Structure 1
Amino acid sequence: MTNVTALAPRKSMTQPERKLLQVLAQELPTMPAGPTVLAVLLQLVASWMGSPSPLGFEDFAKGWVQQGNVKGAAAEQLLRDVLGMNTTPKGDA
């Protein structure tokens, strides 16, 4: 009898996702709420990497933010802006 363990899904980011994180890592420390947002991003990436979910990083990040995992209004607002979650509906413009 052998023990078989299912492999976790392989995680990989797209080139635009990697570039976004690189730019944020350079720009956030200079912003007023930047260090807080950088800490939240680190939690987000760690959550994604540790999750068995097959979702890509962007989809996982949007769900993670919507579930209320971001502590702090400024950090949440900035992440929603970065992820394109604060777009105005067409009828409200």
Structure 2
Amino acid sequence: MKKTVDPADKRFKIAHREALIGVILVIINFIWWYGFAYGLGSGKVEDYTYVFGLPAWFFYSCIAGFVVMVVLVTIAVTFFFKDVPFEDKEGESK
């Protein structure tokens, strides 16, 4: 017998919310990366400023951006994501 999926299942609402949070984090990451990489890196090479021996655009877009995203993802997972069982409840017939 084939099981049907109940679209009103609470797990789907949680999964959709968590997926939306993930998409928002990806958009934030891209905006951060693009803004610093093409904002600071659009001048002449002679005009670059350096942070720890790296061009500032690279440091802020790739190194600092990575650290910021690790912090944001950790906060999102800790405070907004929920542990959801994958199986249906026992005794529940679908």
Q: TM-score, normalised by structure 2?
A: 0.30
Bigger RCO (CA 8 Å, 6+ sep): 2
